[in-house]
Amino acid sequence: MMETELKKLKIGGQAIGIVGLKAVFQAMAADFSQKTDADTAAELVRRLAQQNYIPGHLREEYGRAFLNEFHKFLGRSVETKEEAARLEIKILGAGCTVCDGLENELMDILAEMGLPADLEHVREPAEIAAYKVTGTPALVINGKVMSVGPAPPRLQIKKWLQAGSHSNQSGGNMEKNVLIKNIPFSEPQNLADLVEYAEGRVVSRTFAQKPGIGLTLFAFDTGEGVSTHTAPGDAMVQVLDGEALVNIDGKEMTVGKGQVVVMPANVPHAVTAVKRFKMLLIVVK
């Protein structure tokens, strides 16, 4: 009988649910306690891939995460390298207009500031209750409740995000003045592989945010999306994976992998994941 206990590990800057860890660790403890880290990591990935989806291009990162947990299981100390700053943001609320508006505002601010983040809209009452908030919507940044009730001013949100981003950094590195960031230069890339899905979340990676143009990559879990709003520029969505329902001024259309759709400036529009989908958003002002 397969183990169903879920344990979340930080992999590639995201919390990923993994099943079967304990059983695999127990089975490998005797034979692999003296093996090299490389051999052990490879075997952990091989065995855990039988119960979990492990993207091919992330096998090494999964292997490192599994190896660290295996060392802990064996009672060994683990030294981990600091990951790049990534904000963890949660909006607590069942899905009211104010909640959805706050989610849209946060996605816009993250794109504007070029900050990597995991954004999750928590709708389940039991999960919301765990934060002991007195009302909704509530904004949680890196585990700390920042506001409850009316949406805070945009400037205040930006200050919180900036502070949260700095607190996650190891410090000492100055960012280069580049026009396009968060993507390797001079190497071919598969866009869909540069952002990973996360359960119940919207994950973003900003490539550029300038006065005249914005380039942002998004991964939406099923049912997640951007509620009706307007943008100050023409917005082109290119779907890289999955399927989305797009509503432009009341006109609904389904957009799938390989297709693009343009949403005119200042016209109400919304995007919802019919099933998990990834998109490149290009906004030209």
- pLDDT tens figures, 214-256: 888 999 999 998 888 888 889 999 999 999 999 999 999 999 9
Instruction: Provide the pLDDT for residue 247.
Output: 95
Q: Give SS3 for 91.
A: strand
**CA atoms within a 13 Å half-sphere pointing along the CA-CB vector of 230:** 7
Model confidence at 147, pLDDT cuts 50, 70, 90, reads very high
**Torsion angle of C-alpha atoms 143, 145, 149, 152, degrees rounded to 10:** -90
The pTM assigned to this predicted structure is 0.51
In this predicted structure, the answer to whether residue 6 has a pLDDT above a threshold of 80 is no
Q: Give SS3 for 34.
A: coil
Q: Quick check: 275 and 255 in contact, CB under 8 A?
A: no
Q: Which CATH class is domain 84-167?
A: alpha beta
The whole-angstrom separation of Cα 119 and Cα 88 is: 6
Q: Which fold has domain 193-285?
A: Jelly Rolls (2.60.120)
- pLDDT tens figures, 18-45: 988 989 999 998 888 788 888 999 999 9
The whole-angstrom separation of Cα 163 and Cα 159 is: 6
Spans of all domains in the chain = 6-73, 84-167, 193-285
Instruction: Provide the pLDDT for residue 114.
Output: 72
- Identify the top-confidence range among 1-10, 48-57, 184-193: 48-57
In the numeric block, the tokens 């396009």 are attached to 180
- pLDDT tens figures, 179-209: 787 787 777 888 998 888 888 888 888 888 7
**What is the Rg, in whole angstroms, of the alpha carbon atoms belonging to the chain?**
20
DSSP 49: T
b/e map 69-78, b = 16+ CB within 10 Å:
bbbeeeeeee
Closest CA to 270 of 232, 221, 235: 235
